[in-house]
Amino acid sequence: MPNDPFDRLPDVPSFIVTSETVHDGGAWPAPQYSGAFGVAGGKDESPQLSWSGAPADTLSYAVTVYDPDAPTGSGFWHWAVANIPASTTSLPVGAGSPSGELLPVGAVQLTNDAGSAQFIGAAPPAGHGEHRYFITVHALDVADIGVPADATPAFLGFNMASHILGRATLVVTGKIDE
């Protein structure tokens, strides 16, 4: 896959992530687009996620949503949550709200590339073509990855690199026609 964000990272075992909101290879539904960026019908609502089959020695999870196709030179981070307890195997729709009240106790929601600690929906520039969004659950070998709440998702990724035991990814698409 061109411009795969995991191509240059060490291979790790995969496990299963599913969603009642989206499916691998499918398109985002309207609520997962960005109302904050003015997309009609967008609600900046994070998708429901469930996962299973992570390595037995997993101590926590992180969830990220990343668009490598954004015209920025560095992609666009839509959501990052760290320190999800190993006992958690799902997140409900809307867990990425600004309040974070639906996230498990101890989880830390980081600031996305729009500057807010929440899920920010898809908003590819009109006419820019189809974008891919990598929704990834990372199984980690530490209970606390040690990043502050004001850290960037890229900093989280750097800190996670040597702690990833497994990875589960759904890739969904988004496009806004001119």
Write out pLDDT tens, residues 36-56.
Answer: 999 999 999 999 999 999 999
Q: What is the pLDDT of residue 129?
A: 87
**b/e map of 29-66 (b: 16 or more CB within 10 Å)?**
eebbbbbebebeebbbbbbbbebeebeeebbbbbbbbb
Owning domain of residue 150: 16-174
Q: Name the nearest CA neighbour of 13 among 139, 160, 166.
A: 166
Does residue 55 or residue 127 have the better pLDDT?
55
For 46-50, 88-92, 147-151, which range has the lowest pLDDT when averaged over its residues?
A: 147-151
- What size, in residues, is the chain? 178
Residue 151 has a pLDDT of 95
Report how many domains make up the chain: 1
Q: Residues 97-118: what's their mean pLDDT?
A: 97
In this prediction, residue 142 carries a pLDDT of 98
Q: Across the chain, what does the average pLDDT equal?
A: 95
**Given this model, what pLDDT does residue 178 score?**
66
CB 112 within 8 A of CB 33: no
Of 120, 117, 57, 113, nearest to 82 by C-alpha is: 117
48: in domain = yes
Read off the CATH number of the domain in which 93 is found.
Answer: 3.90.280.10
Residue 8: inside a domain: no
Calculate mean pLDDT across residues 134-156. Answer: 96
Does position 1 have pLDDT exceeding 70, yes or no?
no
In a domain, 7, yes or no: no
Query: pTM score > 0.85 for this model?
Result: yes
